[in-house]
Amino acid sequence: MMLDYNKKEIEASVFRRLVAHLQENTEVQNIDLMDLAGFCRNCLGKWYKAAAEENGVDMDYDAAREIIYGMPYVEWKDKYQK
The per-residue pLDDT for range 21-66, each reduced to its tens digit, is 999 999 999 999 999 999 999 999 999 999 999 999 999 999 999 9
pLDDT at position 5 is 75
Which one of 3.40.50.360, 3.40.50.2300, 1.10.730.10, 1.10.3340.10 gives the CATH number of domain 29-82? 1.10.3340.10
Q: Are 46 and 65 in contact (CB under 8 A)?
A: no
Between CA 62 and CA 57 the distance in angstroms is 14
Query: Residue 52: which residues within 8 A CB-CB, separation 6 or more?
Result: 58, 59, 64
What type of residue is 42? N
The domain ranges of the chain are 29-82
